[in-house]
């Protein structure tokens, strides 16, 4: 395995200090450990991020000492596939990042693992899956798909123009002098430059509850299809009753659209209100946990809600800014303000 570190020269160019995301990305490109906070203030925790190409004995020591959970290796799915780590990545993803605990790792082993991750000659055994690092792959849409630490790290690396591979560590007490942004700021930055969804078609859709307007959407990065059913006039001022539902093929096709199914109950509630939006997010290989979903992963009850980006983008496209969420399981949502959306309340999906 080669031990050559990528050249970090040419990183001293002026940056737009008015944009906190650009400023923090520039610090990451200079080799600093930066912090991405779930929310403003101490609530919700934060993650420290270090570019793999800047791993040194000192930086990995500081990272492991600050970490409150195992240091994770954030990769793109393409790089994880090259390193034959997809099985380990998916096993870690299924556990939920907020539930990860474990002993502190040895800094020298972490450093070797981080350098192996960006070495073109590296083999899977150089990263020792299950050993010094916990590999995770960022979703293709980054924080616009999932407000997770791996997605934030890879998005920042791309903005910084460095190798898209980073060490990520949950920290309970982030260093006060570390460059810092919130997840909402990163989402807002990306939303100001791009979208990962686009609308394709619009039609009237009569149902047993009301006649909805159906709007079809595509996700550009993976070709998934999504559907929004709207009723009444939607706008940014008045709170809108909303349900975002992740496709679950068996549940949805065998009873979901019936009067007693989750979809049926949501549409009935919106029809009774006379105004609202139901967003149906197309299935992907990994499990979704969007706004209002009842499909939270076992073992992470009460964890922060992160898998909602596609639904949030669709709501923004529909002109919705203030929402009342239909759900039996209210949860705190990471970074939603980055979309300009405010949660003003929760409404029960199931009858009392």
The tens digit of pLDDT for each residue in 130-148 reads 556 788 899 989 999 999 9
Query: Following DSSP, what letter does each residue of 317-352 receive, concatenated?
Result: HTT--EEEEE-SS---BTTGGGGT-EEEEEE-SS--
- Of the two residues 87 and 312, the one the predictor is more confident about is 312
Cα 180 to its chain centre, rounded Å, is: 18
- The tokens describing 74, both together, are 């954030």
Give the model's pLDDT for residue 152: 96
Which fold does the domain 197-347 belong to in CATH?
Rossmann fold (3.40.50)
pTM comes to 0.83
Block residue for tokens 């309340």: 345
Domain at 20-191: CATH architecture = Alpha-Beta Complex (3.90)
| Least trusted range by pLDDT, from 65-69, 102-106, 234-238, 336-340 | 102-106
| Least trusted range by pLDDT, from 9-18, 206-215, 224-233, 308-317 | 9-18
| Least trusted range by pLDDT, from 55-59, 108-112, 252-256, 287-291 | 287-291
pLDDT at 249 over 90: no
- Domain boundaries along the sequence of the chain: 20-191, 197-347
Report the C-alpha dihedral over residues 48, 49, 54, 59, rounded to 10 degrees.
Answer: 10
pLDDT at 127 over 90: no
Instruction: Report pLDDT digits (tens) over 181-224.
Output: 999 999 999 999 888 889 989 999 999 999 999 999 998 777 78
pLDDT at 12 over 50: no
């Amino acid at each position: 395995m080669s031990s050559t570190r990528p050249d970090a020269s040419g990183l001293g160019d002026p940056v737009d200090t008015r944009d906190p995301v650009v400023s923090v990305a520039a610090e990451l490109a200079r080799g600093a450990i930066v912090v991405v906070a779930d929310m403003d203030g101490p609530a919700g925790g934060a993650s420290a991020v270090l570019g793999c190409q800047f791993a040194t004995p000192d930086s990995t020591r500081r990272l492991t000492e600050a970490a409150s959970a195992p240091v994770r290796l954030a990769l793109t799915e393409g790089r994880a596939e090259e390193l034959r780590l997809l099985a380990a990545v998916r096993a870690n993803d299924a556990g939920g990042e907020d539930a990860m605990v474990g002993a502190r790792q040895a800094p020298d082993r972490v450093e070797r693992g981080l350098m192996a991750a960006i070495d073109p000659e590296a083999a899977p055994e150089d990263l020792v899956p299950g050993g010094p690092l916990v590999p995770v792959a960022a979703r293709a849409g980054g924080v616009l798909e999932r407000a997770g630490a791996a997605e934030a790290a890879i998005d920042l690396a791309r903005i910084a123009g460095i190798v898209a591979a980073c060490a990520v560590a949950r920290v309970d007490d982030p260093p006060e002098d570390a460059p810092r942004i919130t997840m909402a700021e990163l989402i807002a930055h990306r939303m100001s430059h791009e979208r990962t969804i686009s609308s394709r078609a619009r039609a009237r859709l009569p149902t047993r509850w009301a006649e909805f307007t159906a709007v079809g959407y595509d996700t550009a990065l993976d070709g998934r299809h999504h559907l929004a059913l709207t009723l009444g006039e939607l706008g940014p001022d008045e709170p809108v009753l909303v349900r975002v539902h992740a496709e679950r093929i068996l549940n949805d096709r065998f009873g979901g659209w019936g009067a007693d199914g989750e979809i049926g109950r949501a549409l009935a509630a919106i029809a009774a209100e006379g105004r609202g939006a139901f967003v149906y997010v197309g299935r992907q290989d990994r499990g979704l946990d969007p706004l209002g979903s009842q499909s939270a992963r076992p073992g992470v009850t009460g964890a922060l809600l992160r898998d909602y980006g596609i639904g949030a983008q669709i709501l923004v496209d529909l002109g919705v800014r203030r929402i009342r969420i239909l759900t039996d399981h209210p949860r705190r949502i990471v970074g939603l303000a980055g979309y300009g959306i405010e949660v003003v309340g929760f409404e029960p999906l199931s009858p009392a």
